Amino acid sequence: MADTRPGVLLTRKLPAAVEARLCSTYEVQLNTTDKPMSKAELSAAMTEFDALVSTVSDPLDAPVLQSGNRRVRIIANVGVGYSNIDIDTARAEGIAVSNTPDVLTEATADIALLLILAATRRAYAAERKLRENRWDGFSLVDGLGSSVQGKVIGIIGMGRIGKATARRAAFGLGMKVVFYNRSPISDLDFEATRLDTIADVMASADVVSVHVPGCGTTPLVNADHIAMLKPTAYLINTARGDSIDEAALIAALTEGRIAGAGLDVYTQEPEVPDALRSLDNVTLLPHIGSATEEVRTAMGMVAADNLDAFFSGSTLPCRVV
Instruction: Give the residues lining the site for ligand DGY (CB under 6 A).
Output: 55-56, 79-81, 104, 289-290
State in angstroms the smallest separation of the CB of 2 from ligand DGY: 35
Q: Given 19, 240, 246, 296, which residue is catalytic?
A: 240
Residue closer to ligand DGY, measured from CB, 151 or 211:
211
Smaller CB distance to ligand DGY: residue 44 or 288? 288
- Answer yes or no: are the C-beta atoms of 299 and 103 closer than 8 Å: yes
Nearest to 213 by CA among 182, 179, 242: 242
Q: Which amino acid is at 245?
A: D
12, 122, 225, 287: which is the annotated catalytic residue? Answer: 287
Of 27, 48, 106, 269, which residue is the catalytic one?
Answer: 269
Closest approach of ligand DGY to the CB of residue 36, in Å: 13
CA distances from 9 to 20, 48, 216 (A): 14, 9, 26
Q: Which residues have a Cβ under 8 Å from the Cβ of 146 and sit 6 or more positions away?
A: 120, 121, 206, 232, 234, 259
Distance CA(272)–CA(26), nearest Å, equals: 37
Give the shortest CB-304-to-ligand DGY separation in angstroms. Answer: 16
287 is catalytic: yes
CB of 80 to ligand DGY, least distance (A): 4
| Of 67 and 243, CB closest to ligand DGY | 243
Positions annotated as catalytic residues are 240, 269, 287
